[in-house]
Structure formats: structure tokens, C-alpha cells
């Protein structure tokens, strides 16, 4: 079980974090490190692409919430790309759909950052 | 509350013990998914069970165990599966968590507890200094 993290610059000051695999108590520190590094470099508009994520637990959700909290302190935002019904369900039942922008594709998530 | 599957209707018991370390949680959730897949659970239900067991193991790891292991016992019956997650540590009080509070930034420590309660049909939690922490979760086959 592992997570692959790929960070790439997109339009404007926005960055995309592509995640592939499973985000759990073991792999979430790697995701946290990638997001923290972007924020430390003063990139506050992020799209996190969960399209290739098969599984996420509370520690993964915690990392996303922590990232969102930090970028909001600087007027930024974190939008998510998520099409996996099981993962969408987790965002639904925890009420996190209310605090994250969740989109079906990267283009829509990027557009909503603007 | 849904009663635990009666022993005389048990289709089998599977016991697993893992080191209380993050890298072993995936083994626990995959093993439990394999057990659940022998029942008539939907794919969604199996995903729910996987996540609930993983959250229970994560709680055990984060709140410490004195002997460094987590025991997972799955009892399968016609009605569903009863899963016990046990460790020697003293876990956090797994009280009810209001759904409205989960979305608040900074309340991530309660997410795991909330998920366990939301995804399983029944959850019983006991914790004391002598016996450690035990979580018994039941998922019933629907339909």
C-alpha cells in the first residue's frame, strides 16, 4: 500500500497535487509533507486531485482539512477533484462537502479557484 | 441495538493480531474485507467495514497500547459480521459526535469516531486500565 504524490504548477499561482493510491494513517504523512511544502513556499491556491485515490481515512481527511485551514489564513483555497463514489460518500457523511469545493474534473476545480 | 450473531449460527471466526503500527493497518482492513466478502455484503458495505476497522486500529495506535499489538476478531453469521478490535491501551472516550460539528475546521480528531459510528449498524465501546480497550462493531447484511 502506498501513495504517489505528484505536484505540478498550473494556471496563475495555482498548484495541482495529484494523488494516486490509498491515503491512510501510514501514507498520509507523505501527502501532508507535499501540501505543507507548497504552503511554506507561499502557494495558497491548490487543487488536490483525488481521482486516482481508492481509499481515504480520517487521517487523510485531517491532512486535507489542515491544508485548507492554513491556506485560508492567507486568503487561499483548496479545491478537490473527486469522482470515486465511496470517497464522495465519506465527504458527504462527515459534512466536509460544506467546507471543500468538490468537483468532477480538474478544469472545473481550477476555474472555481479564480 | 442489533444483537451480536449468536454463536450457534456462526459461520466462522477469524482472528488476526497485528503490530500496533501504522504500516500494518492496511493488512487489517484487507483481511477484514476478505472475510466480509464471503458474506452477501454489497461492495459499498465492504468498503464501510474496511474503513471502520481501519479507524479502530488507528485509534488504538494513536492512543497507545502497552504490549504493542491489536487483536481483530471477525465472527461471520447469516445476519452479518461482528468485529471486535481489542488492544491493551486506554483509548479515547468514543462518545457520540454531532454531525454538524465534524465539518468545523480543527475537529479532525473526532472524524474517525464519527465514521465508525456512521458506517456500522452497532458499536459498543469499553475501556479500562486493567483490560484495555475493546470496540465491538456489527454490520448487518441488508436486504
Q: Does B51 touch chain A (CB under 8 A)?
A: yes
Q: Residue B105 and residue A69: Cβ atoms within 8 Å? A: yes
Q: Residue B115 and residue A57: Cβ atoms within 8 Å? A: yes
The three grid cell numbers given for residue A114, joined into one nine-digit string: 479564480
The CATH number given to whatever domain includes residue A87 is 3.30.750.24
**Mean pLDDT, residues B49-53 taken together:** 97
Number of structural domains found in chain A: 1
More confident residue, B130 or B32: B32
Read off φ and ψ for residue B48, nearest 5 degrees. Answer: -60, -45
Q: Does B10 touch chain A (CB under 8 A)?
A: no
Instruction: Search chain B and give the residue with CA nearest A96.
Output: B103
For residue range A64-99, what is the model confidence (pLDDT) as tens digits?
999 999 999 999 999 999 999 999 999 999 999 999
**The pLDDT of residue B2 is above 50:** no
Q: Give me the domain span that covers residue A107.
A: 3-113
**Mean pLDDT, residues B81-103 taken together:** 71
Sort out which chain A residues have CB atoms less than 8 A from B106's CB and list them.
Answer: 65, 69
For residue range A39-70, what is the model confidence (pLDDT) as tens digits?
999 999 999 999 999 999 999 999 999 999 99
What is the predicted pLDDT for the residue at B113?
87
**The pLDDT of residue B95 is above 70:** no
Q: Whole-prediction pTM value?
A: 0.89
> Counting beta carbons within 10 angstroms of the beta carbon of residue B73, is it exposed (0 to 12), middle (13 to 18) or buried (19 or more)?
middle
For residue range A11-47, what is the model confidence (pLDDT) as tens digits?
888 999 999 999 999 999 999 999 999 999 999 999 9
The three grid cell numbers given for residue B10, joined into one nine-digit string: 456462526
**The pLDDT of residue B99 is above 60:** no
- Nearest by CB to B111, which of A68, A86, A94? A94
The three grid cell numbers given for residue B117, joined into one nine-digit string: 459510528
- Give the ipTM: 0.90
Using pLDDT thresholds of 50, 70 and 90, give the confidence band for residue B11.
Answer: confident
Q: Does A54 touch chain B (CB under 8 A)?
A: no
Instruction: Search chain B and give the residue with CA nearest A70.
Output: B105
Cβ pair B106, A69 in contact under 8 A: yes
What is the predicted pLDDT for the residue at B1?
42
B137 vs B120: CA distance, rounded Å: 6
Domains of chain B, earliest start first: 10-140 (3.30.565.10)
- Cα separations in angstroms, B87 against A65, A69, A95, B55: 28, 33, 30, 13
What percent of chain B is predicted at pLDDT more than 70? 77
B98 vs A94: CA distance, rounded Å: 10
Q: Does B98 touch chain A (CB under 8 A)?
A: no
B66 vs B89: CA distance, rounded Å: 6
Amino acid at each position: 500500500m502506498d501513495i504517489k504524490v505528484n505536484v505540478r504548477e498550473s494556471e496563475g499561482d495555482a498548484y495541482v497535487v495529484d494523488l494516486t493510491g490509498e491515503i491512510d494513517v501510514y501514507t498520509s504523512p507523505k501527502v501532508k509533507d507535499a501540501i505543507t511544502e507548497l504552503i511554506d513556499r507561499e502557494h495558497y491556491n491548490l487543487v488536490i486531485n483525488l481521482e486516482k485515490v481508492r481509499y481515504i481515512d480520517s487521517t487523510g481527511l485531517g491532512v486535507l482539512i489542515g491544508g485548507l485551514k492554513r491556506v485560508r489564513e492567507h486568503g487561499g483555497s483548496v479545491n478537490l477533484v473527486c469522482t470515486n463514489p465511496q470517497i464522495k460518500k465519506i465527504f458527504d457523511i462527515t459534512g466536509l462537502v460544506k467546507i471543500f469545493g468538490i468537483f468532477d474534473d480538474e478544469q472545473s476545480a481550477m476555474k472555481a479557484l479564480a | 441495538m442489533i444483537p451480536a450473531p449468536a454463536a450457534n449460527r456462526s459461520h466462522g471466526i477469524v482472528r488476526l493480531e497485528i503490530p500496533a503500527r501504522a504500516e500494518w493497518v492496511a493488512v487489517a482492513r484487507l483481511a477484514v474485507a476478505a472475510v466480509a466478502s464471503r458474506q452477501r455484503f454489497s461492495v459499498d458495505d465492504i468498503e464501510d467495514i474496511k474503513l471502520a476497522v481501519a479507524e479502530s486500529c488507528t485509534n488504538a495506535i494513536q492512543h497507545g497500547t502497552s504490549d504493542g499489538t491489536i487483536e481483530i476478531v471477525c465472527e461471520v453469521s447469516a445476519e452479518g459480521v461482528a468485529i471486535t478490535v481489542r488492544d491493551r491501551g486506554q483509548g479515547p472516550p468514543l462518545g457520540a459526535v454531532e454531525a454538524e460539528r465534524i465539518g468545523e475546521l480543527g475537529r479532525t480528531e473526532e472524524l474517525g469516531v464519527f465514521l465508525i459510528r456512521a458506517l456500522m449498524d452497532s458499536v459498543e465501546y469499553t475501556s479500562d486500565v486493567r483490560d484495555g480497550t475493546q470496540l465491538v462493531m456489527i454490520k448487518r447484511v441488508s436486504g
